[in-house]
Amino acid sequence: MTSVPDIVRIGGASGYWGESAMATPQLLADRSVDFLVYDYLAEITMSILARARAKDPAMGYATDFISAVLKPNIREIAAQRVRLVSNAGGVNPDACAEAARAVIAEAGFDLKVGVVRGDDLMADREKFAEAAPVEMFSGEPFPPAEKLASINAYIGAFPIAAALDAGADIVITGRCVDSAVTLGACIHAFGWQPGEWDRLAAGSLAGHILECGPQATGGNHTDWEDIAGTIHNIGYPIGDIEADGSFTLRKPKDTGGAVTVGTVAEQMVYEIGDPQAYLLPDVCCDFSGVEIEQLGKDRVRVTGASGRPAPADYKVSATWADGFRAGGYFTFTGRNAAGKARVFADAAITRARAALRGRNLSDFTETSVELIGAESQYGAPAGSAAAREVVLKLAARHPESAGVGLLLREASGLGLATPAALSGFSGTRPRPSPVVRLFSFLVPKTDVALGVEVDGVPVPYVEPVTEGAPGDPVRPAPPDDPGADAASGDPVEVRLEDLAWGRSGDKGDKANIGIIARRAEYLPWIWRALTEEAVADTFAHFLDGSAPNPVERFPMPGTNAINFLLHDVLGGGGVASLRNDSQGKGYAQILLDTPIPVPKTLADRAAADAEARAA
C-alpha cells in the first residue's frame, strides 16, 4: 500500500490560454513541486476551440500546453518526475493527448498520458433543444440548435484522481472546473473520499487560489505599488497542501511579486458569488470562515474552509452565436475633449443608421459609447469631466456582419469632418466579430457518461453522486454596528482603499466585488457604509435594472471581508458585451474610491498605515 504523504506541493502554472510561458521553467527551477497544474479554459475559449476543431479535426485544444509547456520543458519534467494536470484538452482532449505523446516519444521518455473525456455534450444538442431548458440565471429560452458552438459540462476532480491512480504522469481533461486540476491531485495523493466535505472544500480552495497563477502573488493587487518594479519577474504560486486540506502558499525563491494576507485574500474572493455556497461538482464550499495568516516573508497559511454535500447535477454551459459586434477606439485632445468625442460618436452612429436604412437592414441591436478619461466608468455624464484628452470607445451589435461593418466604415469616413484633434494609433480598420453568448443549465450527473483512460487503456470510473441538495448554510452574524456614539467628535471620511483591499471579477453577466478590511476594527464601519443600496447606487450606470435585488451582500468574518454580488451588470458579459470592461475587472477599484466615515482614531491609524506602505 502506498504511504500517504504529509504534504503535496503543487505549482499553479497557467490561468488562461495565452498567458506567459515563464511559469513552467520557473516552477521547475524551484525543484520542490510534485505537481504542476494548468487552467486554460473560459466560456469564450470553448467557442474558439470549437471553431478550430470544425476547421481541423486534429485541433480544438489549447496548443500552448504542447508548444510552450511540454516541448521546451519535457526533459526537466521527466527528470524531476513532476506530474502535470491540465484542462488543455478543451473540446478535443484526445487530440491534445496524442500531441503530448508525440512530444514524449520524440524526446525518448516513458511517460504515461491520461485522458478524461465526456464533458463535451454537443452530440446531444438536438435533445437539449427539444427539452428546452431555460437559462439558469436569466430564464431565457434555449438557443436554436444550429447556432450552438459548444456545450460542455463542468466536471470535477475525481476522474482526474482516477487517471493519476492508474499511473498517468500527465492528465489532460476537457471542461473541468478550474480548481479541479488541483483537487484531483490532492484526492490522489491523500486518498480523500467522496463525502469528506471539509477536505474537498479545502482542496478546492487551494485550487481556487492557484488557478489564476500570479494573481495570488501580487498580480492585480490593490497595493500594486509594492511590487511595481518586480512584475516582470513575478513568482507563480506554490501550495504546500497538507492531508487535512490546510495549506501554505509561497512562491519560488528570487522571484518578484509578494505573498501576503492581502494578495491571497483578494484571490480567494475573486469570481465567487455567495461565499457559503460556492458550488462545484465535488462539494459545496463555504469560505466564510477561512482564516489567512502571515507566517513570514512570502509565506501565508490558509485554513478553515468547510464543505457541504455536492450538487447532484452538473452545471452545463453552452455558447452560441447571436449576431455580430464591432467597435474601435479614437482619441481626442484639447478643450472639451469629451464633448468632441461625443459629437463624433453621435455623427458616426447617425451616418451608420442612415446607411442601414439605405440597405434595408434593421437598426443596431445595441450601441455603446464610453469616454475613457472622462470618468464614464464612474457614471459621469458624457462631457462632464474636465479632461483634456479622452479615448472614445465606440461599438455596436447587429444581427449581420454587414450591419456593424457600416459603423466601422462611417466612423473611419468622418476623419475630415470631425471635431478638432482626432487621432489614434494607425493600423488596419477593426473587423466585425461574432457575438458569443453563454447559456447555462443543469444536467443530472447520471446523464453524463465520463470516461478515463491512460495510454489507451480504459480505467473503470463511476462518478460519485450525492443524494439530495447541499442544503442551506448557517449564516454568520454581520459585523456589530459600531453604534451612534462609538466615535467621539465628528467622523472623518477616509477612502475605502485606505481601509481595505479589493478584487472584482465576472461570472457571465454577474460581477462580484470582494472587500477585505486591512484591520478587523475597520470592518464594522465598512459594513455600515457599504449597504446593498449604496453599492447599487455606485454602479447604477452599469446595472440594467431588471433584477429585483441587483446587489447582494455577504459577510466573510474569517477574513474580515465582505463579498458583493451584482446581477445583470456587465451588458451580457464576455464577448456578448460591448463594454470596455466587460468582465468587471475595474469594479473593485471604482468602489475603493468610496469615502467611509470612521472615528478620527481609526482615520489616523489608516493614514499612518498608508504612509508606512508608501515609505
Residue 383 banded pLDDT, cuts 50, 70, 90: low
Task: Please say whether the dihedral angle defined by the alpha carbons of residues 374, 533, 478 and 487, taken in this order, is positive or negative.
Answer: positive
Give the Cα separation of 33 and 29 in Å (integer).
Answer: 10
Residue whose C-alpha cell is 520543458: 73
Q: What is the largest CA-CA distance in the chain?
A: 79
- What average pLDDT does range 569-598 have in this prediction? 95
| Strand-pair partners of 554 | 563
Q: Are 238 and 30 in contact (CB under 8 A)?
A: yes
Give the Cα separation of 569 and 540 in Å (integer).
Answer: 9
Q: What is the predicted pLDDT for the residue at 67?
A: 98
- What average pLDDT does range 367-380 have in this prediction? 93
**From the CA atom positions of the chain, what is the Rg in Å?**
25
Least confident among 292-301, 332-341, 373-382, 560-569 = 373-382
Q: Are 317 and 438 in contact (CB under 8 A)?
A: yes
Least confident among 132-141, 484-493, 519-528 = 484-493
What are the tens digits of pLDDT across the range 336-356? 999 999 999 999 999 999 999
Q: What is the predicted pLDDT for the residue at 56?
A: 96
Contacts of 580 (CB under 8 A, 6+ apart): 370, 372, 377, 393
Give the Cα separation of 296 and 609 in Å (integer).
Answer: 19
pTM of the model as a whole: 0.96
- What average pLDDT does range 260-280 have in this prediction? 97
Q: Are 85 and 171 in contact (CB under 8 A)?
A: yes
Residue 14 banded pLDDT, cuts 50, 70, 90: very high
Residue 429 banded pLDDT, cuts 50, 70, 90: confident
Q: What is the predicted pLDDT for the residue at 605?
A: 96
Give the Cα separation of 572 and 523 in Å (integer).
Answer: 32
* DSSP helix/strand/coil, 183: helix
Interior CA angle at 167 toward 209 and 445, to 5°? 60
Residue 382 banded pLDDT, cuts 50, 70, 90: low
Give the burial string for 410-427 (b: 16+ CB within 10 Å, else e).
Answer: bbeebeeebbeebeeeee
Q: Which residue has the higher pLDDT, 86 or 384?
A: 86
Residue 483 banded pLDDT, cuts 50, 70, 90: confident
Domains of the chain: 7-119+154-310 (no CATH), 318-437 (3.30.70), 492-614 (no CATH)
Q: What is the predicted pLDDT for the residue at 380?
A: 85
According to DSSP, residue 66 is labeled I
Q: What is the predicted pLDDT for the residue at 485?
A: 55
Q: What is the predicted pLDDT for the residue at 256?
A: 98
- What average pLDDT does range 467-478 have in this prediction? 89
- Other Cβ atoms less than 10 A from the Cβ of 295: the count is 12
Q: Are 473 and 308 in contact (CB under 8 A)?
A: yes
Q: What is the predicted pLDDT for the residue at 547?
A: 81
According to DSSP, residue 533 is labeled H
What are the tens digits of pLDDT across the range 69-79? 999 999 999 99
According to DSSP, residue 482 is labeled -
Residue whose C-alpha cell is 512530444: 103
